[in-house]
DNA sequence: CCATGCAGTTAACAACTGTTCTCTGGAATT
DNA sequence: AATTCCAGAGAACAGTTGTTAACTGCATGG
C-alpha cells in the first residue's frame, strides 16, 4: 500500500508541513484569529500566494492543526486508561503521561487550550468533535471496569467528560509551569502533578461511591 | 464619599465605557489579539486617537475587561457557596446561579473563557489572578463546613480549584447552548444543567469520603 | 520526447493598521 | 473674568494585510 509518492507530491507535503510548523510557532504568542497568511509564508520563506495551494484560509490551516495535535492522540488514550493496576498507580501513571506529552508537544497543547474557546468557529467545532470522540473512548474503557457495573450510559459519559476536561486543565497547568522561569520549573511541575493527582483521586473516590 | 464628579470626568467615563462595550461586542467573533484599536473607536463613533486617552493598548483594554467581567463576581461566589441547605439543593442552586449569570452576561463569560488561555499575556495573568482569588474565597467557605474537619489547607485549596474550574467549564457549556439554534436551546441548556449537576454530585461524593 | 499539470513566483491593488503631531472647544480652576 | 487643562478631532506617516492575475520552471504521464 505504501505507494512511494513522487518527488512532486513529496515536495508539496514538505511545504505544507513547513507552513503548519511555522504557524504553530507563531501561535505561541498570539491567537489564530490574528494570524496572517503573509506572516506564515514569510516565516517559511515562500511567496504569500503559495499559501493558497495548501489552505483556503488561516482558519482552514487551524483545522488541519487540530488534526495534527489531537488526531494522533487516540491510541494513547486507550492504552492509558485501560492500563492494569490499582486505582492509585493508574492515576499517577496517567498524570505522568500527560506531563510527558506536554513536555514533548508544548506548542500543540497550547494551541488546543487556546483555540478550544478561541475566535475561529470552524476550529472550535473541530476541537469539540475530537474531544467528544475522546470522551466516547474513555467511556468505552470505563465501561469495561467492574467498578462501572450498574452505571447508566449517561452516567458513564458524564464521568468520561469530567475526566477529559480534567486532563485538559492539567495539561494546561503543566504548560504554564513549563513556560515559567527555569529555576521554578521543576518545583511547579511537581506541584501541578501533586494537585492533579489528588483531584483525580477525589473524583475516583466519588466514582466508587456513586451507586450508594 | 460619593463626590459627584464633574460633567467632564463623567463624559470621559461614558466614552470609556462605550469603548469597553464596543470591544466586548466585537470580541464575540474574534480574539483579543486580533482586535484593532481603530475597529473599536469606529464602532463607538470617536476618532482613533481618542482611544489613547483611556487605554495604552488593546491589551490594556483587555485587562480592564477582566475587572469588569470578574471583579463584580466575588460577592456572588461567597453568598452562593455559603448558602444553607443540604448538599443536593446547594448543588442545583449553584448550577442555576451559573446558568442565570451566563444568561445575563454572555459576552463577559465568552470573553473570560476565550482569553483565559488567549494570546495576550497580561490578560491571561489578570484572569489567572482573579480565578486564584475565587479559589481562595471558595476555600474559605469550604473551611467553615463541618465536612472539611481534618482537611489540610492544601487539600482544601485543591478542591476549591476543582470547583472553580468546574464552574468555568459549566458556564462555557451553557454559553454554547445559548449560541446554538433557538429550537435546541432549551433542551441543550437542560442537558448541560443535568450533566453538570451530576458531576458536581460526584465530586461532592468524593469530598465526603476523602478522609476514609 | 513532448505536451500537460501544477507548486511556487512576481507584481500590483485597495484597504487597513498603530502612532505621531497639531489643533480646538469647552469645562475646571483661580 | 481670565487662564489653564484636557478629551477628542483631524490629517498624515510608513507599513501591513488578503486577493487577483499572469508568469515560470520542472516533474509527470502519454
Per-chain mean pLDDT for chain A: 95
Residue A1 lies in a domain: no
Mark whether A19 and A107 lie in a shared domain. Answer: no
Q: Is the CB of A49 under 7 A from strand D?
A: yes
CB-based contact A159 B202, cutoff 8 Å:
yes
Judged by C1' against the alpha carbon of B35, the nearest nucleotide is C17
CATH classification at residue A41:
1.10.10.60
Alpha carbons A154 and A80: distance in angstroms, whole number: 22
Other C-beta atoms closer than 10 Å to the C-beta of A211 total 11
Within residues 50-109 of protein chain B, the ones with CB less than 7 A from nucleic strand D are 50, 53-54
Mark whether A87 and A45 lie in a shared domain. Answer: no
Mark whether B128 and B165 lie in a shared domain. Answer: yes
Residue A129 lies in a domain: yes
Question: What is the reported pLDDT for A77?
Answer: 82
Mark whether B17 and B93 lie in a shared domain. Answer: no
Residue B102 lies in a domain: yes
Question: What is the reported pLDDT for A186?
Answer: 98
Mark whether A140 and A52 lie in a shared domain. Answer: no
- Note the pLDDT tens digit of each residue in A139-162: 999 999 999 999 999 999 999 999
Alpha carbons A23 and A43: distance in angstroms, whole number: 8
Closest by CA position to A166, among listed B168, B115, B120, B178: B168
Mark whether B47 and B72 lie in a shared domain. Answer: no
Residue B75 lies in a domain: yes
Residue B84 lies in a domain: yes
Residue A121 lies in a domain: yes
pLDDT higher than threshold 70 for residue A173: yes
Mark whether A51 and A140 lie in a shared domain. Answer: no
Residue B2 lies in a domain: no
**A31-40, A132-141, A168-177, B79-88: lowest mean pLDDT where?**
B79-88
Residue B63 lies in a domain: no
Within residues 38-97 of protein chain A, the ones with CB less than 7 A from nucleic strand C are 46-50, 53-54
Mark whether A190 and A93 lie in a shared domain. Answer: yes
Q: Is the CB of A15 under 7 A from strand C?
A: yes
**Domain span at A153:** 68-208
Q: Confirm or reject contact between B136 and chain A (CB < 8 A).
A: no
- Note the pLDDT tens digit of each residue in A39-59: 999 999 999 999 999 999 999
Instruction: Read off the pLDDT band of A205 (50, 70, 90).
Output: very high
- Which chain B residue has its CA at the smallest distance from A28's CA? B119
Per the structure, the count of domains in chain B is: 2
Residues of B within 8 A of A172 (CB-CB) are 117
Residues in chain B predicted with pLDDT less than 50, given as ranges, are: 1-2
Residues of A within 8 A of B209 (CB-CB) are 205-206, 208-209
Amino acid at each position: 500500500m505504501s505507494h512511494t509518492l513522487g518527488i512532486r507530491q513529496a515536495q508539496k507535503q514538505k511545504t505544507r508541513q513547513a507552513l503548519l510548523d511555522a504557524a504553530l510557532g507563531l501561535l505561541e504568542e498570539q491567537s489564530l484569529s490574528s494570524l496572517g497568511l503573509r506572516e506564515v509564508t514569510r516565516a517559511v520563506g515562500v511567496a504569500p500566494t503559495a499559501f493558497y495551494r495548501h489552505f483556503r484560509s488561516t482558519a482552514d490551516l487551524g483545522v488541519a492543526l487540530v488534526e495534527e495535535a489531537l488526531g494522533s492522540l487516540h491510541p494513547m488514550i486507550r492504552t492509558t486508561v485501560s492500563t492494569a493496576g490499582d486505582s492509585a498507580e493508574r492515576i499517577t501513571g496517567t498524570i505522568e503521561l500527560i506531563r510527558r506529552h506536554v513536555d514533548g508537544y508544548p506548542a500543540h497543547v497550547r494551541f488546543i487550550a487556546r483555540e478550544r474557546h478561541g475566535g475561529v468557529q470552524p476550529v472550535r467545532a473541530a476541537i469539540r468533535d475530537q474531544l467528544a470522540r475522546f470522551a466516547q473512548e474513555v467511556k468505552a474503557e470505563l465501561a469495561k471496569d467492574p467498578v462501572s457495573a450498574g452505571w447508566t450510559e449517561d452516567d458513564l459519559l458524564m464521568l468520561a467528560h469530567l475526566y477529559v476536561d480534567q486532563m485538559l486543565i492539567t495539561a494546561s497547568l503543566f504548560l504554564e509551569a513549563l513556560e515559567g522561569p527555569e529555576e521554578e520549573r521543576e518545583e511547579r511541575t511537581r506541584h501541578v502533578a501533586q494537585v492533579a493527582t489528588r483531584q483525580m483521586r477525589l473524583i475516583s473516590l466519588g466514582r466508587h461511591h456513586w451507586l450508594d
